[in-house]
A and B are shown apart, each in its own frame.
Chain A
Amino acid sequence: MRIVVGIKWVPNTQAVRFDPKTGTLIRTGVPAIVNPHDLPAAELALRLRDEYGGEVIVLTMAPPPAVQGLEHILGMGADKAVLLTDRAFAGADTLATSYVIAEGIRKIEREIGKVDLAVFGQETIDSSTAHIGAQVASWLGWPYIYYVKNAKMVNGALRVERQLENAVETFDVGLPAVVSVAMKALKARPVRLSHKLRVKLEKPIIVWSNKDLGLDPRCVGLKGSPTIVSKVTYLPEVPRRKIVYKPKDPRDAARWILAQLFQDEKTREALHKALWG
């Protein structure tokens, strides 16, 4: 089976610090990494390939430095990589990004061969939209499922398990399809030196610009993006009530807490539901 894994090269937001004085995020010197939630997606793709044969192609739409991210996944054992890069792609929102990714997958199908599965991470740490999987499925007209924890082939379909807020579900998904892998679902294998060496020798990274994809410039980047960020504000501190009570005894403490929560319109309903359904 031929599997495409989409990844994003992102600033490591866990290293982004917040300056409470100026109310801004300190991004300078923040290293870029492969979006951590994409690693379980790559792992799932590699496991499926190891089990059923075929190849894994890692793909990203990004400026050229993202090659490091592709190399990371190649280092884990992916077979090929595709970098979709062009000035015209800059400023893309998720719709314009997913369009380029979907067109990248179509070009892979034309030039390399039929794609059976596209795998994405559930969301990114720098914007957490969780849009891309569904949008790519929409462009390609493929079925899709989110929050996948594991997958295997059963009677020619991909059997996936996923967890929602309150239920575990199993689906058989007919291929080709798109799946997004739940955060922390699988532990990613480490990068191996032998794979890195192969990358150095064989250079299995294909670079396609918009000339190669042949997309209308009105459909990509900023121009192809319906959403506009009109402003950004910062909220350094969450407003809290900060009412502190020194109780007479434990019973008084318990009753005081409950009296507050039942008087508070934000919590009253939830308590009613919990106690009396």
Chain B
Amino acid sequence: MPKVDCGKLCPEWPCEQPDEFKNVWVITEASEEGVSEASLQMLTPALEIAGKLGSKVVGVLIGYNVERHAETLIRHGADEVIVVDSEDLKEYYPEVYGQVVVDLARKYKPEVILIAATMRGREMGPYIANTLRAGITADCTDFDVDEKTRDVLLIRPPFAAIMLAYIKTPFRRPQIGTARPNVFPVPPADDTRKGEIIRETVQVRKTRTRLVSRTILKREEIPIEKAEIIVSGGKGLGGPEGFKLLEELASILGGVVAGSRKAVDAGWISHERQVGQTGKSVKPILYIAVGISGAAQHMIGVREATRIVAINIDPEAPIFNQADYGVIGDYKEIVESLIEELKKLKEAGPEAVDELIKEYTIQEAAVQQG
């Protein structure tokens, strides 16, 4: 590892050598109910980075009445969990939570800190990094490690994921990144895993900010750029009543509806729900495009969707070449059937899935043979 020449560093920064730092931290968001899914997902890149660096994964759990969730982090791969559980942390304020992480990081000197790029994570991350006088990379979708220098490459996609920038901080530690939710899976749980739980008490900073109220949004009010499942409609719906059907499908899937520009221009759906170049970029796990042709200006907005399903009547529609799963046919009947089949599945329970999968693997095998 290269030595840092302290004479060259900004005197506002503490002079530290990279080899003073060890372990990969995951800062988790937790409430009394549990650790957030997005935070658990961060354990996947953390385990990978820690594997390459030969270091431990440490979960950091901050809040009030959260201590019992330390076990969850261990089951999903953390070697250690540092817990700060205090009534003073009942409400989240970015600089208050951020300062707790800063104080812990000054004491333990982690080599890497990962934070889920949720809205709170994106708010708190740069405060933590800046207060430590360290670099930070936002919205990473991948990581790599230079094992010789122990530099972590933090990989992020500015410009609608057309470009990937590889960022590193060779003379500063910790190396800090926020990473996109739903890019990494939650590592499988192992109930036999054991790990150390370290209870820390930290002087919680007072803040001049006070939470006045919090109202949970209804499913259909969730903005499309934050939704995990989107059912999106285009000109092919033929009219506003098509969106009623899509809303019904979205509701069963716990998702929201969106639309193409033509659907917005026709007044079938609001401008806030437009996907594409002049609308919004979305990053759902599942994007179901219904009666959408697949114009470039639309598709630029769904580059970061994990999977795309297309339903279109025209076998030549360009969207089929840009989707994962395409079905040719009239949308109305297909969406109605989807709603019906989902209702039946929901009723029948998860066991019914096996049957469904068997039916289609057998069919595919038959097709292959014949």
Residues of A in contact with B (beta carbons under 8 Å apart): 13-14, 16, 18, 25, 93-95, 98-99, 126-135, 137-139, 143-147, 157, 159, 163-175, 177, 216, 218-219, 223-236, 238, 240-247, 250-251, 253-267, 269-276
Q: Is B252 an interface residue (CB 8 A)?
A: yes
> Which one, B158, B161, B350, contacts A276 given CB within 8 A?
B350
Q: Which applies to chain B's interface (DSSP): helix, strand, loop or mixed?
A: mixed
Q: Which residues of A contact B33 (CB under 8 A)?
A: none
Q: Tell me if B360 and A256 are in contact (CB < 8 A).
A: yes
User: Is B45 located at the chain interface by the 8 A CB criterion?
Assistant: no
Q: Does B17 contact A (CB under 8 A)?
A: no
Min CB gap B323→A, angstroms: 6
Nearest Cβ in chain A — how far from B141, in angstroms? Answer: 10
B337 touches A254 (CB 8 A): yes
B217 located at the interface, meaning its Cβ lies under 8 Å from any Cβ of chain A in the complex: yes
**Total A-B residue contacts, Cβ distance less than 8 Å:** 299
A130 touches B353 (CB 8 A): no
Q: Are A234 and B164 in contact (CB under 8 A)?
A: yes
1/0 per position for B280-322, CB-CB distance to A under 8 A?
Answer: 0000011000000000000000010011110100010000111
B211:A235 contact, CB within 8 angstroms: no
Q: What are 27 pairs between A and B in contact, CB < 8 Å?
A: A25-B162, A134-B94, A135-B126, A143-B95, A145-B94, A147-B123, A165-B119, A218-B8, A230-B153, A230-B166, A232-B163, A232-B165, A234-B162, A238-B322, A241-B323, A242-B321, A243-B324, A244-B320, A254-B338, A254-B340, A258-B338, A258-B356, A259-B360, A264-B324, A270-B228, A274-B255, A275-B346
**Bound-state Cα–Cα, A174 to B212, Å:** 13
Q: Measuring CB to CB, which residues of chain B are less than 8 angstroms from any residue of chain A?
A: 8-13, 93-95, 98, 118-120, 122-127, 129-131, 133-139, 153, 157-159, 161-172, 185-186, 207-217, 222-223, 226, 228-229, 252-255, 277-278, 285-286, 303, 306-309, 311, 315, 320-330, 333-334, 336-338, 340-342, 345-346, 349-350, 353, 356-357, 359-361
A226 touches B135 (CB 8 A): yes
A244 to B165, CA, bound (A): 33
